[in-house]
Structure 1
Amino acid sequence: MIDHSKFPDPVYKETVLAPLFDAVKAHYADHMGAINRAHLVMLAETQILSSEQASAIANALVDIEAQIDVEKQVYTGEHEDYFFLIEAELRQRLGDLGGSLHTARSRNDMDHTLFKFALQSRAEAMMGQLQGLAAALIDKARQEAKTPIVAYTHGQPAQPSTFGHYLASVIEVLLRDCARLDAAIVGLDHCPMGAAAITTSGFPIDRQRVSDLLGFSAPLRNSYGCIASVDYITGLYSALKLVFLHLGRVVQDMAFWSSFEVSQLYVPNALVQISSIMPQKRNPVPIEHMRHLASISVGRCDMMVNIMHNTPYTDMNDSEGEVQQAGYAVFESGGRMIALLGAFLPACSINVERVHTNADSACITITELADTLVRLEKLSFRQAHEIAAETAKAVIAENKPLREGFVSFCRAFETEVGRSSRLGKEAFSQAVAIETFVAVRDRFGGPAPHALVDAFEAYQGDLARLVANKNARQKRRSTAQENLKKAFSNLLEI
Structure 2
Amino acid sequence: MSEEKVSLRERVKLPPAAALVDAYYRPAIAYGTKYMFGEEMRIHLAHGLMLARQGIVSGEDIAKTLRTVLDLRAAGPEALDIDYQQEDLYSYNERFIVSALGPDVGGRLHTARSRNDLNITSWRMALRRRLVQLSETLNALREICLRLAREHAGTIMPGYTHTQHAQPISLGYYLLAYADMLERDAERLAGALDRCDRCPLGAGALTTTAFPIDRDHTAELLGFPRLMEVAYDAVSSRDDAHEAVSAMAIMMTGVSRLATDLQEWNTLEYGFIELSDAFSSVSSIMPQKKNPQGLEYIKTAAAYVTGSMGTVLACSKNTHFADVNDGVTGLNAATMDAVERSTHALAVAAGVVDTLSVHPEAMLRSAAIGFGTATELADVIVRETGLSFRKAHNIVGRVVREALESGRIAPEMTASDIDTASRALFGQPCVISDQAVERALDPRGNVEARAVRGGPSTSEVNRMASERLARLEADRAKIAAVVNRLAEADARIETEVAALLAQCSAHVKQLDGAVRE
- Structure 1 length as normaliser, TM-score? 0.91
Q: Alpha carbons of 1:5 and 1:344: their partners in 2 closer, same or farther (altered >3 Å)?
A: same
Tell me what 2:45 maps to.
37
Measure the CA separation in 1 of the matches of 2:430 and 2:41.
Answer: 86
Pick from 439, 445, 450 the counterpart of residue 459 of structure 2: 450
- Describe the shift of the 1:81–1:399 C-alpha distance in structure 2 as closer, same or farther (beyond 3 A): closer
Q: Does structure 1 residue 373 correspond to structure 2 residue 353?
A: no
Whole-angstrom CA distance in 2 between matches of 1:469 and 1:238: 21
Q: Which residue of 2 aligns with 1:478?
A: 487
Partner of 1:9 in structure 2?
A: 17
Q: 1:95 to 1:145 in 2, by over 3 A?
A: same
Deviations 1:280-337 (A, max 9, x none): 6554343323222222222223222222222211111125556413432223332332
In the aligned structure 1, how far is the partner of 2:436 from the partner of 2:36?
A: 71
Aligned residues between the structures: 490
Tell me if 1:123 matches 2:111. no
1:207 aligns with 215
In structure 1, give the amino acid aligned to 2:445: T
Deviation of the 1:172 alpha carbon = 0.6
Tell me the residue number matched to 2:59: 51
Say if 2:277 is the partner of 1:265: no
Matched residue type, 1:348: L
Q: Name the structure 2 match of 1:289.
A: 297
Counterpart in the other structure of 1:489: 498
Q: For residues 275 and 57 of structure 1, what CA distance do their matches in structure 2 show? A: 58
Note if contact 1:23-1:321 (Cα within 8 Å) is conserved in structure 2: no
| Maintained 8 Å contact 2:315/2:330 | no
Residue type of the partner of 1:40?
A: G
- Counterpart Cα distance in 1 of 2:151 and 2:20: 59
**Runs (5+) with no aligned partner, structure 1:** none
Distance 1:213 1:4 in 2: 36
Of 439-448 and 406-415, deviating more is: 406-415
User: Partners in 1 of 2:76 and 2:371 — Cα distance?
Assistant: 71
RMSD: 2.5
What is the CA deviation profile of residues 180-219 of structure 1, one whole-angstrom value per residue up to 9, with x for unaligned ones? 0111111210000010010111122111111000001111
Structure 2 match to 1:317: 325
- Is the alpha carbon distance of 1:82 and 1:157 closer, same or farther for their aligned partners in structure 2, counting shifts above 3 Å? closer
Match of 2:114 in 1: 106
What secondary structure sits across from 2:107 in the alignment? helix
Amino acid of the residue matched to residue 428 of structure 2?
Answer: G
Distance of 2:500 and 2:12 partners within structure 1: 45
1:74 aligned partner: 81
1:170 is matched with 178
2:469 counterpart letter in structure 1: Q
Quick one: distance in 2 between partners of 1:257 and 1:110? 50
For 1:239-292, what per-residue CA distance to the aligned partner results, in whole angstroms no more than 9, with x for missing partners? 111111111112112233333333333445555555555566554343323222
Indicate conservation of the 8 Å contact 2:236/2:328, yes or no.
no
* Structure 2 CA distance for aligned equivalents of residues 65 and 477 of structure 1: 18
> Is the Cα–Cα contact under 8 Å of residues 198 and 224 in structure 2 kept in the other structure?
yes
Q: 1:361 to 1:275 in 2, by over 3 A?
A: farther
Q: CA deviation at 1:46?
A: 2.0
Aligned residue identity for 1:12: L
Provide closer, same or farther for how the CA distance between residues 188 and 286 of structure 1 changes in structure 2, counting only shifts above 3 A: same
Change (3 A) 1:134 1:411: same
* Structure 1 residue matching 2:166: 3-state secondary structure: strand
Matching residue of 1:359: 367
Residue 84 of structure 1 deviates from its aligned partner by 3.3
Counterparts in 2 of 1:349 and 1:365: CA distance versus 1, 3 Å: farther
Q: Is the 8 A contact 2:399 2:417 kept in 1?
A: yes
Q: Secondary structure at the match of 1:102?
A: coil
**Residue number among 440, 444, 448 corresponding to 1:439 in the alignment:** 448
Tell me the distance in 1 between the aligned counterparts of 2:73 and 2:280. Answer: 50
Which residue of 1 is the match for residue 205 of structure 2?
197
How far residue 359 of structure 1 moved from its aligned partner, in angstroms, is: 3.5
Cα distance in 1 for partners of 2:330, 2:263 equals 37
Q: How far off is 1:108 after superposition?
A: 0.4
Residues 307, 394 of structure 1: alpha-carbon distance in 2 compared, 3 angstrom cutoff: same
Alpha-carbon separation, structure 2, partners of 1:95 and 1:4: 20
AA of the residue aligned to 1:71: E
Which digits, 9 at most, give the CA deviation of each residue in 1:368-422, with x for residues without a partner?
011112222222111221222222223223322333322212323455473451x
1:160 deviates by: 0.9
Deviation at 1:141, TM superposition (A): 1.3
Tell me the equivalent position of 2:4.
Answer: none
Matches for 1:141-160 after TM superposition, within 5 Å: 141-160=149-168
State the AA in 2 paired with 1:291. K
Answer yes or no: is the 8 Å Cα contact 1:394–1:408 preserved in 2. no
Q: Deviations over 1:431-451 (max 9, x none)?
A: 211011101100111100111
Q: 1:417 to 1:216 in 2, by over 3 A?
A: farther
Q: 1:20 to 1:4 in 2, by over 3 A?
A: closer
How many percent of aligned residue pairs carry the same amino acid? 28
Q: 1:77 to 1:344 in 2, by over 3 A?
A: closer
Alignment-derived partner of residue 464 in structure 1: 473
Q: More deviation in 428-437 or 81-90?
A: 81-90
| Candidates 179, 189, 192, aligned match of 1:184 | 192
Alpha-carbon distance between aligned partners in 2 of 1:171 and 1:311, rounded to the nearest angstrom: 38
Change (3 A) 1:405 1:250: same
Query: What SS does the aligned partner of 1:172 have?
Result: helix
- Residue 86 of structure 1 aligns to which amino acid in structure 2? N
For residues 214-249 of structure 1, the C-alpha deviation after alignment (integer angstroms, 9 at most, x for no partner) is 001111111101000010110111111111111111
